[in-house]
Amino acid sequence: MPTRAISRSSISFGLVSIPVELFPAIASKSVHFNLLHAKDNSRIQEKIYCVSENKAIDRSELVHGFQIEKGKYVAFTNQELKKLDSGAGHEIDIMQFIPISEVDPVYFAGAYLLGCGSGSAKAYHLLNAAMTKSQRAALAKFVMRGKEHLALIRPYRDLLMLHTMHYGDEIRSSEQIDHGAKTSVGASELKLAERLIDDLSKDKFEADKFQDTYRQKILKIAEQKAAGQEITAPPAPRRGKVIDLMAALKDSLKSQKRNARTDSEDEVSHDHRSGSREKGARRALRSSRHPQSRRRRRSSAK
> What one-character-per-residue DSSP string does 213-246 give?
HHHHHHHHHHHHHHTTPPP-PPPPPP-PPP--HH
Q: Does residue 40 register a pLDDT over 90?
A: yes
Residue 299's pLDDT is 45
Rounded alpha-carbon distances, angstroms, from residue 296 to 231, 287, 292, 300: 59, 11, 6, 6
Which of 44-58, 82-96, 153-167, 285-299 shows the lowest mean pLDDT across its residues? 285-299
Into how many domains does the chain fold? 3
**Residue 130 and residue 62 in one domain:** no
Residue 111's pLDDT is 95
Domain that holds residue 54: 50-83
Q: Does residue 103 register a pLDDT over 80?
A: yes
DSSP 262-279: HHHHHHHHHHHHHHHHHH
**Residue 161 and residue 142 in one domain:** yes
**Residue 134 and residue 152 in one domain:** yes
Q: Does residue 61 register a pLDDT over 60?
A: yes
User: Is the residue at 39 inside a domain?
Assistant: no
| β-sheet bridge partners, residue 65 | 75
**Residue 104 and residue 150 in one domain:** yes
Average pLDDT over residues 220-235: 83
User: Is the residue at 217 inside a domain?
Assistant: no
Do 105 and 60 form a contact (C-beta atoms < 8 A)? no
Residue 244's pLDDT is 66
Q: Does residue 39 register a pLDDT over 70?
A: yes
User: Is the residue at 21 inside a domain?
Assistant: yes
Is the pTM of the predicted complex or chain greater than 0.85?
Answer: no
Percent of the chain clearing pLDDT 70 (strictly above)? 78
**Residue 159 and residue 12 in one domain:** yes
User: Is the residue at 244 inside a domain?
Assistant: no
Q: Does residue 298 register a pLDDT over 50?
A: no
User: Is the residue at 261 inside a domain?
Assistant: yes
End-to-end CA distance of the chain: 78
Do 48 and 58 form a contact (C-beta atoms < 8 A)? yes
User: Is the residue at 219 inside a domain?
Assistant: no
Q: Looking at residue 165, which CATH number applies to its domain?
A: 2.40.290.10
Q: Does residue 2 register a pLDDT over 60?
A: no
Q: What is the pLDDT of residues 257-293, one digit of tens each?
A: 777 666 555 554 555 554 554 444 444 434 444 444 4
Supply the angle between the helices 187-199 and 245-289 in degrees, to the nearest 10: 30
Residue 252's pLDDT is 75
164 or 89, which is more confident? 164
**Residue 76 and residue 105 in one domain:** no
Q: What is the pLDDT of residues 146-205, one digit of tens each?
A: 788 999 999 998 999 999 999 999 998 888 788 887 888 888 888 888 888 888 899 998
User: Is the residue at 37 inside a domain?
Assistant: no
**Residue 20 and residue 108 in one domain:** yes
Among 109, 135, 169, give the residue marking a domain's end: 169
Supply the angle between the helices 291-301 and 245-289 in degrees, to the nearest 10: 100
Residue 288's pLDDT is 41
**Residue 134 and residue 277 in one domain:** no
**Residue 155 and residue 11 in one domain:** yes
CA–CA separation, 255 vs 250, rounded Å? Answer: 9
Residue 57's pLDDT is 94
Q: Does residue 297 register a pLDDT over 50?
A: no
Among 150, 169, 188, give the residue marking a domain's end: 169
**Residue 161 and residue 104 in one domain:** yes
Closest CA to 25 of 130, 149, 141, 154: 154
**Residue 144 and residue 12 in one domain:** yes
Residue 107's pLDDT is 95
Q: Does residue 127 register a pLDDT over 90?
A: yes
Q: Does residue 243 register a pLDDT over 80?
A: no
Residue 231's pLDDT is 81
**Residue 148 and residue 269 in one domain:** no
